[in-house]
Every structure is written in C-alpha cells, then in structure tokens.
C-alpha cells in the first residue's frame, strides 16, 4: 500500500507547474459497529494548474475486517478484504463560470464501480448567488463468492437470468443554488435525482419466509431523489458559526426519509476551532420489505429482502471535532498553515446494524511549487 501511495504522489507531482499552490491531506479513519470494523487510510491532493485550473485527486483503501459479507445479516461468515478507490477531477474557471469533470474507480473482490461526471457552476449578482448543475453516470459490476473464499457462484441478475456477474447502471443529476443573505449568512439548496437500473440486491443475503429461505430479490429499477437545504450564520462577537441543514428523501420503493442536522463551530483564537454536530435520521420501510415473508414463491412475493436498511428505523449521530493549525505549536513556514484534525463520532441506530463509533485523524499541509 505504501508503494501505491507513493505512486499516486509521484503521479500527481507530474501535474505541477512553477509558482502554484496546492495542499496534500492524509487522513486515517477507524469505523466500528457490531459486525464490521473498517480502517480507511486516504490521501487527497489539490493542485493549481496554470492560473485558472485546479486538479484534485484522491486514493484510499478500505480495510474491512471481521465483517459479514452479507452486510447487516445475521449468522453470516466473517471475512476480510480490501477495497481500493482512486479519483480525480479538473476544474477550469471561465470568468463567472466554473466547469469541472471528475472520474472515480473503485474495486474490491466482488464489486467494481466506475464513475464519470461533469458539473458547471455560475456566479451571479456579483458572486452573491451561485447556481450549479451536474450529471454523473456510473457502471458497476457485482459478483459473489470471492469474499466468502468460494468459487464464484451464479446470482440472479433478473428474474430467470442467472450469471456470475450482474451490472448496475446509475445516472444522476444534481442541481444546487446558494445565496448570500447578509455579511454573516448564506443559504443553499440542492436537489439530486438518480435512476438505478440493474442488480440491487446483496448476493450473500437470504430472506426468511414461512416455507424456508431464498436469495434476496430486489426490483431492478430504483428512482431516488433528495432535496436538501442549509443555512450558515456567523456570529462575529463570539466567532461562532451556526449551521442548520435538512434533507428530505424519497424513492419509488416508497422509502421517505427526514434528516435534520445542526452544527456549531467555535473559533478558539486564530489557530484552532472546535465543533459539535448532531444528526437525526428517520425513514420509512420499502414497500416490499418484511421481517418474515409468507412464502419464497415468486408468484406470491415477487420481491424478497433481508436488507435492514430498507426497514423503518431512526438514527442519531453525535460528533465532536477539533482542528488546530501548526502555528499553535510554534511551527513556521508551510507547517504553520498545516491543519491537524481529530474527529470522534458516535452513531446510535435502532436496527440490526447496532451502534457505531467513528474516529478520524488528519493532517493537511499547504505548499507551493
């Protein structure tokens, strides 16, 4: 992995031009829930290219251990595997317009995903308003067996059609608008719609019915949409930023979800900031989801699911975050602007996944070249 990270750094350095700015960020994340433990080291880079271009790139590894391949399932076999992801984007500024293109590739033993997208942002009213519009497409390939250490079995991509690999195609459109309200307040709204066509079940999970168990059968078409809004307000006297956000989600599987969130960020002198966040999530269940089905017969129950993500549940997230600049430790030069960051999250979720803890440590170092 060290060699791969070094390769990415070397590749990124080739894009460098003289007297430009950039930043490199190294982050490590630890995630632990009842049946899954994830360690994710990641590397992010941002580089100026010329006077109007910005390149970003990232590389990460998901090291998943002691998890069940059938995410969220009871009595599943434990396994260990790695997921590798790399991505890059380029943004070009044209007066009041910014155009960007991005691509991402992710691979693990039983899931490969490729994404490409374009996005435009337009500044209006002396940059007091920004409108954004983007589109992205992804092509995923899902298989089964590798994570279980077995020969790849057949999975039912569609009713009556079994293969060793199943495709999933996603097309998404994103729209956004933000508006400055005053010298201390800004509001933003986003709307996302995505259509997913292809295999959307988990090949390792089985659904329970009165007459036995059977592999999951999910619909092959899903239309998801979400509207989200946020308001940021800065209170100068105490140097405190208040952020409130709300997201409403619905899809054609009849899941409706409400997710409000509040964040408070407090500046501590010039060189540090502390933040707390609370996020609440509540969702309905998918129209076809049952804890236990009457029959596995497709003529009785066309769809079967053991995915607890599709059930009704509520969740709470509490987060504490601390960021400190290198200047606070007496560092100089580029290191004075380096940012050390630590995050601790606790997730309380009332379903089979159980509660979770998440911890981040990160270091971001600015530089010029």
User: Phi and psi of 328, rounded to 5°?
Assistant: -65, -25
Minimum Å gap between C-beta 239 and another protein is 9
Does residue 13 sit in helix, strand or coil? helix
CB 367, CB 47: distance < 8 Å: no
Minimum Å gap between C-beta 182 and another protein is 7
Which positions ≥6 away from 239 have C-beta within 8 Å?
266, 267
Can you read off the two tokens belonging to residue 103? 């691509």
Q: Which residue, 18 or 293, has its beta carbon nearer to another protein?
A: 293
CB 262, CB 276: distance < 8 Å: no
Q: Is 72 exposed, middle or buried (0-12, 13-18, 19+ CB in 10 A)?
A: buried
CA distance 25 to 306: 38
Minimum Å gap between C-beta 18 and another protein is 25
Q: Which residue, 15 or 364, has its beta carbon nearer to another protein?
A: 364
Q: Which residue, 18 or 272, has its beta carbon nearer to another protein?
A: 272
Q: Which residue, 243 or 328, has its beta carbon nearer to another protein?
A: 243
Q: Which residue, 18 or 225, has its beta carbon nearer to another protein?
A: 225
Minimum Å gap between C-beta 264 and another protein is 10
Rounded CA Rg of the chain: 23
Minimum Å gap between C-beta 129 and another protein is 4
> 20-39 in b/e burial notation, b at 16+ Cβ within 10 A?
bebbbbebebebebebbebe
Q: Which residue, 18 or 36, has its beta carbon nearer to another protein?
A: 36
Minimum Å gap between C-beta 33 and another protein is 8
CB 153, CB 163: distance < 8 Å: no
Q: Which residue, 18 or 112, has its beta carbon nearer to another protein?
A: 112
Give me the sign of the Cα torsion angle 347, 114, 250, 177.
positive
Q: Which residue, 15 or 261, has its beta carbon nearer to another protein?
A: 261
CA distance 172 to 191: 11
Minimum Å gap between C-beta 111 and another protein is 4
CA distance 196 to 218: 12
Minimum Å gap between C-beta 51 and another protein is 19
Q: Residue 230, by phi and psi: left (phi above 0), alpha (psi -120 to 50) or beta?
A: beta
């Amino acid at each position: 992995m060290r060699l791969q990270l070094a390769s990415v750094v070397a590749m990124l350095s080739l894009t460098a031009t003289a007297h430009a700015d950039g930043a490199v960020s190294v982050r490590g994340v630890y995630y632990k829930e009842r049946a899954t433990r994830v360690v994710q080291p990641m590397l992010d880079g941002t580089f100026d290219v010329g006077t109007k271009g910005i390149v970003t790139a990232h590389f990460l590894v998901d090291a998943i251990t002691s998890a069940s391949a059938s995410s969220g399932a009871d009595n599943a076999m434990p396994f260990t595997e790695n997921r590798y992801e790399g991505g890059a984007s380029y943004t070009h500024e044209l007066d009041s317009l910014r155009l960007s293109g991005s691509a991402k590739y992710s691979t693990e033993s039983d899931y490969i995903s490729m994404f490409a997208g374009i996005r435009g942002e337009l500044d209006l009213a002396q940059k007091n308003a920004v409108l954004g519009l983007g589109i992205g497409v992804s092509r995923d390939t899902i298989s089964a067996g590798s994570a279980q250490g077995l020969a790849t079995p057949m999975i039912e991509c569609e009713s009556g059609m079994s293969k060793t690999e199943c495709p999933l195609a996603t097309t998404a459109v994103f729209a956004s608008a933000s508006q400055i309200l005053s010298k201390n307040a800004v509001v933003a709204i986003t709307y996302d719609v995505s259509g997913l066509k292809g295999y959307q079940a988990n090949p390792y999970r089985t659904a329970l019915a009165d007459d036995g168990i059977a592999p999951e059968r999910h619909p092959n078409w899903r239309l998801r949409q979400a509207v989200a809004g946020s308001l940021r307000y800065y209170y100068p006297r105490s140097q405190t930023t208040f952020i409130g956000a709300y997201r409403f989600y619905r899809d054609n599987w009849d899941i409706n979800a409400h997710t409000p969130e509040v964040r408070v960020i407090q500046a501590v002198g010039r060189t540090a900031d502390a933040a707390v966040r609370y996020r609440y999530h509540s969702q309905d269940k998918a129209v076809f989801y049952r804890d236990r089905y009457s029959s596995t017969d497709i003529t009785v129950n066309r769809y079967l699911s053991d995915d607890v993500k599709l059930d009704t549940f509520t969740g709470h997230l509490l987060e504490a975050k601390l960021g400190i600049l290198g200047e606070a430790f007496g560092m100089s030069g580029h290191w004075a602007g380096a940012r050390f960051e630590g995050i601790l999250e606790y997730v309380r979720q009332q379903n089979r996944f159980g509660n979770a803890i998440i911890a981040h440590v990160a270091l971001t170092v600015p530089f010029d070249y």
